[in-house]
Every structure is written in C-alpha cells, then in structure tokens.
Chain A
Amino acid sequence: MAKLIFASAAATIGIFAIAGLVFAQKNQFPWDDYRVEGDLTTIHVQGNVYMIHGLGGNVAVQIGDTGVLVVNTGLEQNSSKLIAAIRKLSDKPLQYIINTCAHPDQTGGNEALRKIGVTITGANVTGDIADAGQGAQIIAHENVLDRLSAPTGQKAAAPAGAWPTDTYVSGQKEVFFNEEPVEVRWQPAAHTDGDSLVIFRRSDVVATGDIFSTVSYPFIDVERGGGIQGEIDALNNIIDIAIPKHEEEGGTYIIPGHGRICDEFDVVEYRDMVTIVRDRVRNAIKKGMTLEQIKTAGFTKDYDARWSAKEGPGTADNFVAAIYRSLKASPSR
C-alpha cells in the first residue's frame, strides 16, 4: 500500500515536472496557476478564462461544459502550438473565435483554429446548407471582415477560411456560452476601425485586443481607421467596465493584446500616459509645430524607457506620428 502511494505521488510529481506546471495551495492571485512550456505560458486568469501568452498576440480562452471559446488566434505560424495549448485546457469542441481587430498577430491562426471547431446547427439549416456545421464561428466587427476579405478578383489579406463568419455593425454582439454572458463591444476608431472589447461577465475578465498593451506605446493604425481620441475613449471604457476588488487592485482582470495580465490600475497608468502625450502633441500643433519638430522636441522622453518599442508600430516616433496625423485629420479623432 505504502509503495502504491509513493509510486502514485512520484508519478504525479513527474507529470507536473514534465509539464512545467506549478500549483500553489493558496489561490490568491492569477499567478498561482500557470504552465510554462518553452516560450508559451498558459495562465488561469479568473473564472472560466485563461490567457495563452507567447503566440504573437495574447489569446484568451474560455472553457466550460459546453465547449471552448477563444479571443484572437495569434500569428499563423503558431497555430499548432495554440491548438495544443487549448487541448491541454479542454477537449470540448471549439465553437467560437472572436477577433478584436484584423491584424495578423490576432487573426493569423483563424483558419487553422476554425478547422478544428464546429458550429452547432439545426432545423432547416442542417439540411439546406451542407457545410453549415463545419468549423467554428468567427465573430468580429464588420470592418474586420472588410479588412481581411476583398472584392471578387482582388487579393484578400487573408484566406477565406480565416474571415469572420458572424459580424456586427454597431453597438455590441452578445453570446451566452459556458453559462456565461459574453459581450463583444465595438470601440470605434481606436487602434483600428474594427476593434472590439470582449467582456466575460461572470468570470469578470475583459480581453482588450490591441487597444491596450503592456509592452509598448499603442499602435494606432490611422491607415485602417484608428485615431487617438477613439483610443483614449476605448481605454476609458475599459476603466469604466473594470471594478477593482480592494484599493485599486484585483477584481476585474484585463487581458491586453500583448503583455501581461492586468487590472484596472494598469490600464489607468496607460490611459494617463496616452492622454498626457496626446495633450503635449495637441498643444504643439496649436503652436504650429511640424511633425518633425514635435518628434525632435522629445515629448515622450519621460515614457520612452518604459513604453517605446525598439522597432515597429509601438516606437515613440510612430506613436507621436499617429497622434499627429490623427489630430490633424480631425481634432476630435
């Protein structure tokens, strides 16, 4: 008997060690339950929701008795890793994919993930549309579909299998899944013109997509309908939704498009930074300064060590340029 207990304990320890899984006895914070495998980290955020980090953009995964719902799908080349990570969380069918924008770091795995999923159909649809049940539904704002697809004869940004199958054009889209209300709220002209916040109302978790990041200045894609005022409005919307548990900590947890798990105060700090830099650029424009003069003036120097990416859209120069272009195009945008 003693041998059996020892063998069982050893096997259990071995399994956890192989998986790199860490369990803590006291589940106080969302750092108590996580799995690290190579450059991939899966963390239990709260309630039904997990975050998978290391795929390009963050992926939120909601699991339950009914099935699996994911918010965003990371870069295309990481699809198989993402599928494997989801399967370690649940063997239930993947039914919903929600995209928070059209960028490839959040939609790259759409096609591969859709293929492993299902759409629950019934009534006349089942007989009339032969492939109606094949693949998971992809929910996004209509503008995401516009960005990923193309008119007949033109090359689309993504293959048809990656396009949203269920879009909304204003307000919000609602899903009730895994005994949880899930809201998909449009945030106009923020990071792009097709951004959505995804709110897990029972788990008390918000997935923000690239409206919010902890690794760089925001990427305001002015070419694709983004704007500084919409970005600030969206950050304030997240702050309005989030309710901290105690002294501005905990309570509602936030999954950013990139970076670590956050709560309201982390978004507040980010909102403050974005607003202050916007104020400075707006003031400089009023004084008649050109974009080059504004870049040279160093209006982000106090934030660069923390927020400027080394390259890409999250650099200080690109952030300032996006604010400038956005304000010049429309002072309220």
Chain B
Amino acid sequence: MRHTSLLILIFAGLVQSPGAMAQFSGSFNAQPGIDLSGAWSPAPHEESIGNPAIADFLGVPINKGARALGLAWSPSRVTVPEHQCQVHVAPYIMGGPLNLRIWEERQSQSQKLEDIRMYISTYEQNRTIWMDDRPHPPEAAAHTWMGFSTGKWEGNTLTVYTTHLKAGYLRRNGLPESDQATLTEHFMRHGDYLLHVSEVTDPATLTEPFVRTQIFRRISEEGQNWLYPCESVVEIANQPRGAVPNYLPDENPFIAEFAAKYGIPLAATLGGAETMYPEFQRKMKELAALRK
C-alpha cells in the first residue's frame, strides 16, 4: 500500500513537471566548460629552444640565488644515476616535446565531471585535475613531478592550480625551480587548437611570476610515440659514490659562450625579471654600445 502511494506520487510529479522529464533527456547535468578530450601535440612556441645553452637564462625572472645555482650547474650532473631519469616538472614538461592525451572521468550515475586526466608521453607522466572542489593535500604530504591539481571552468577556459611539485628545472640548463613552486594554467580550446598559458610562482627562485604560452594542435595520426621507459646506468666509469658534478664559484668556463655565440650582452643572458619586458631592448642597445 505504501509502495503504491509512492509510485503515484512520483508519476504525478513527472507529469506535472516538464522540467523533470527534460532532466532525463540529458540536460540536468549541464555544466560550464568544453570538452578538451583528444590527442594533442605542441606547435613551435616561444620556449621551443631545444636543449638550452649553458647560462641562457634570458627572459626568466630569476632571483640572484637561482642565477648563482644555474651558473654552478655542470651538464655532467645528468650522468649521476639518480638524475638520468629525472622527469621535467609539470610547468616545464608542458613545453614539450610531447604527445598529450586528455580525457574526462565522470561519475557513472550522474555523469558529473569528476576529474580531467592528462597523459604525457615524455617520461610517461599522468596528471589528474580534480574538478570536485576537493582541498589540496596538507603541507606534510609528498610532492610529485606533476603535483596535485584542481581545476575549475571560467567560461570555456579551464583554469588549473597545482601545488606539491617536486624540485626541478625552470630551464634544463641547471636553472632551478624549487619544491615550493606553484603553477596556474589556463587551457583554451579553439577547434583543433588548444592554447595553454602557464604561470609559475616560486618564492625560492623567482622574483615575479614566470608566464609562458604555447599552442597545441589536435593530432589524429596513428603511430605517435607514447612510451618512455628509462633505466639509469653507469655512464662514467669509476665515478665516485655520491659524486655531484658542479662548478665552484667563478670557475664555470662556459658562462659567456651563449652570449658570444649570439652577440648578446652577457648581462642579458643572465636573466632576471627585466629581461622579460620589451623595455629591456633599450638597455640591450646601451649595453652593446658600452661593449664597443
């Protein structure tokens, strides 16, 4: 008897409410945002500089400490077994080269968007961008190469905030990013193109946010390279246990190499916030005039 009453009530509700019927046709989960799913590959962009030269810190708003650390870095560091498979942290890896696959994970019953996944072919990295308003982990939690990310839709722009990143490179020539860095990203899709804007802040190495942009284009070709097995080996015979190749202060012989190759004032190649801005061109001319 009670069951019969309940069914009548439900039926009455459905009949009286066209909106309720519409929910079952799929609109009750209407959410902002667009579908970013697919395979993507970066087009050439401002940071596509291949393997950066030693002491090429141009355009990076580093502080004095980061500069000193970059100048002490020896390329032989990557011969150390534990550095051989060192992954590029999330802010750097998105600069490519890479293949990027994006897909959505939705709750099976409600089809509500739970998280957006990214698989990055370089170093076989997985990112999860939580879309369910969960808090970031506590300070004492572990850090990872890709960090912990939460996202939200701002119109059709996906904005992602990432914490708990490992220490890594701002640029793969020893320019450091600390494990205190945070990353804010904006993903904007325009058909088969995906604009990615990233902003790194790091109290330990940067004086201003480091902003980069790049474009991914949709790829549909088969045969993309999606794997990246890495196993460290002994690269230097008789390398002492615990060896950490580095240059002592003022002993790096390659500091001026990049500046000389491209005819750029050394002061410019050593980076800093002012080298990011157009006004620095005037200073470049002044520095060049001084050299003459």
When C-beta atoms are compared, the residue in chain B nearest to A215 turns out to be: B139
Partner of B82, one of A239, A299, A305: A239
List the A side residues contacting B172 at CB < 8 Å: none
Q: How far is the CA of A123 from the CA of B191 in the complex (A)?
A: 79
19 contacts between A and B (CB under 8 A): A22-B134, A29-B142, A51-B140, A53-B139, A232-B242, A244-B85, A246-B124, A247-B123, A249-B144, A259-B140, A260-B140, A261-B140, A265-B166, A266-B143, A268-B83, A269-B179, A271-B242, A305-B203, A305-B204
Partner of B85, one of A248, A250, A272: A248
* A303 sits at the interface (CB 8 A): yes
Partner of A305, one of B65, B128, B242: B65
Query: Chain B 195-209 against A: per-residue CB contact (8 Å), 1 yes, 0 no?
Result: 000000001110000
B-side binding surface: helix, strand, loop or mixed?
A: loop
Query: Chain B 163-180 against A: per-residue CB contact (8 Å), 1 yes, 0 no?
Result: 010110000000000111
Whether B143 lies near A260 (C-beta < 8 A) is: yes
A-side binding surface: helix, strand, loop or mixed?
A: mixed
* A138 sits at the interface (CB 8 A): no
List the A side residues contacting B82 at CB < 8 Å: 239, 248, 264-265, 268
List the B side residues contacting A54 at CB < 8 Å: 140
List the B side residues contacting A10 at CB < 8 Å: none
List the A side residues contacting B69 at CB < 8 Å: 302-303
Which segment, of A88-96, A158-166, A275-283, faces chain B? Answer: A275-283
List the B side residues contacting A319 at CB < 8 Å: none
* A304 sits at the interface (CB 8 A): yes
Partner of B139, one of A28, A41, A264: A41
Q: Which A residues are closer than 8 A to B by beta carbons?
A: 22, 24, 26, 28-31, 34, 36, 41, 43, 51, 53-54, 58, 214, 232-233, 235-236, 239, 244, 246-250, 253, 259-266, 268-269, 271-272, 275-276, 279-280, 283, 297, 299, 301-306
Question: Which residues, 74 to 112 on B, are CB-close (under 8 Å) to A?
Answer: 77, 80, 82-83, 85-87
Whether A247 lies near B87 (C-beta < 8 A) is: yes
* B141 sits at the interface (CB 8 A): yes
Partner of B140, one of A41, A236, A280, A306: A41
* B63 sits at the interface (CB 8 A): yes
Q: Which B residues are closer than 8 A to A by beta carbons?
A: 63-69, 72, 77, 80, 82-83, 85-87, 123-125, 128, 134-135, 137-145, 148, 164, 166-167, 178-180, 203-205, 228, 230, 241-242, 244, 246, 248-249
Residue from A51, A244, A246, A271 with most neighbouring chain B CB atoms (10 Å): A246
Partner of B68, one of A29, A266, A302: A302
List the B side residues contacting A232 at CB < 8 Å: 242
Whether A299 lies near B139 (C-beta < 8 A) is: no
When C-beta atoms are compared, the residue in chain A nearest to B87 turns out to be: A247
List the A side residues contacting B128 at CB < 8 Å: 26, 28
When C-beta atoms are compared, the residue in chain B nearest to A304 turns out to be: B65
Q: A30-B141, A272-B244 are in contact. Are A306 and B86 (CB under 8 A)?
A: no
Whether B142 lies near A261 (C-beta < 8 A) is: yes
Whether A280 lies near B144 (C-beta < 8 A) is: no
Whether A260 lies near B204 (C-beta < 8 A) is: no
Partner of B72, one of A22, A53, A233, A302: A302
Partner of A275, one of B64, B68, B242: B242
Whether B144 lies near A29 (C-beta < 8 A) is: yes
Whether B135 lies near A22 (C-beta < 8 A) is: yes
Partner of A248, one of B87, B134, B180: B87
B93 → chain A, closest Cβ, in Å? 11
Whether B167 lies near A269 (C-beta < 8 A) is: yes
B142 → chain A, closest Cβ, in Å? 4
Whether B145 lies near A266 (C-beta < 8 A) is: no
Q: How far is the CA of A268 from the CA of B167 in the complex (A)?
A: 10
List the A side residues contacting B249 at CB < 8 Å: 280, 297, 299
B203 → chain A, closest Cβ, in Å? 7
Q: How far is the CA of A51 from the CA of B141 in the complex (A)?
A: 10
Q: How far is the CA of A36 from the CA of B123 in the complex (A)?
A: 33
Q: A248-B86, A265-B82, A276-B244 are in contact. Are A31 and B164 (CB under 8 A)?
A: yes
Q: How far is the CA of A283 from the CA of B87 in the complex (A)?
A: 32
A298 → chain B, closest Cβ, in Å? 8
Whether A306 lies near B180 (C-beta < 8 A) is: yes
Q: A249-B145, A299-B249 are in contact. Are A305 and B124 (CB under 8 A)?
A: no
Whether A283 lies near B144 (C-beta < 8 A) is: no
Partner of A283, one of B64, B77, B241, B248: B248
Q: How far is the CA of A179 from the CA of B66 in the complex (A)?
A: 47
Whether B242 lies near A31 (C-beta < 8 A) is: no
Q: How far is the CA of A107 from the CA of B228 in the complex (A)?
A: 45
List the B side residues contacting A262 at CB < 8 Å: 142-143
Whether A34 lies near B123 (C-beta < 8 A) is: no
Could you list 8 further interchain pairs (A-B, Cβ under 8 angstroms) beyond the known A272-B244, A306-B178? A29-B141, A51-B140, A247-B87, A263-B142, A271-B242, A305-B203, A305-B204, A306-B204
When C-beta atoms are compared, the residue in chain A nearest to B65 turns out to be: A302
Q: How far is the CA of A305 from the CA of B164 in the complex (A)?
A: 18
Partner of B141, one of A244, A261, A275, A279: A261
When C-beta atoms are compared, the residue in chain A nearest to B141 turns out to be: A31
List the A side residues contacting B135 at CB < 8 Å: 22
Whether A247 lies near B63 (C-beta < 8 A) is: no
Whether B139 lies near A271 (C-beta < 8 A) is: no
When C-beta atoms are compared, the residue in chain A nearest to B230 turns out to be: A247
Q: How far is the CA of A261 from the CA of B63 in the complex (A)?
A: 27
Whether A31 lies near B248 (C-beta < 8 A) is: no
Q: How far is the CA of A51 from the CA of B66 in the complex (A)?
A: 32
